[in-house]
Amino acid sequence: MSERSVAPGALALIESLVNTLDIESGADGLDTPEGRARLGITRDGLAGARELRESLRAALLAHAGHPPHRPVTPLGTLLARAPLYVAVDDHDGSARLAPADADPLLSRVAAAVAEALVAGTWTRLKACEADTCHWAYYDRSPAGRGRWCSMRVCGARAKMRRYRAKGA
């Protein structure tokens, strides 16, 4: 996992879901009851959660300027199944986006994306460019051009490969 801190706000949910799969080792946190419980996923919702996870990963790779890792259902298609509405508090007049009746995880992700769009943070959530990683991370670099989840691991590996390729 990255040495960077957790993504802000509701993006932490998306980061957590995407990072349930360790591509390098093949370990999938959704294979365990504890891993599913942490995200509120039932055994019946497992296939949908995995589909959503990989669609999110493809979107995060696109944020970093990389093609999808494999063919996936477009994220917009999935999120269209989780409509949101504006909920207004009768006491103080505050408003928030709330999920309509739909798949609970999908609804929470749709609300998280909407919150991040409003906050201007959605495109800062990216996936590591390393083919063996694709870990989700929040890019806190000033220019927003981070490429790896960790400079100590994935960034160092990429730089070492480039160095060796030069024949040095």
Delineate the domains of the chain, giving CATH numbers in brackets: 11-165 (1.10.3300)
CA distances from 32 to 36, 46, 48, 105 (A): 6, 11, 16, 17
**pLDDT tens track for 91-148:** 999 998 888 877 889 999 999 999 999 899 999 999 998 888 888 999 988 877 776 6
**For 40-68, what is the mean pLDDT?**
95
**For 49-68, what is the mean pLDDT?**
95
pLDDT grade for 3, boundaries at 50, 70 and 90: very low
Amino acid in position 8: P
pTM of the model: 0.85
Largest Cα span, the chain: 69
pLDDT of residue 2: 40
pLDDT of residue 1: 41
Cβ distance 30 to 107 under 8 Å? no
**For 141-158, what is the mean pLDDT?**
67
C-alpha 158/C-alpha 70 separation (Å) is 21
pLDDT of residue 72: 96
**pLDDT tens track for 4-39:** 568 999 999 999 999 999 998 999 999 999 999 999
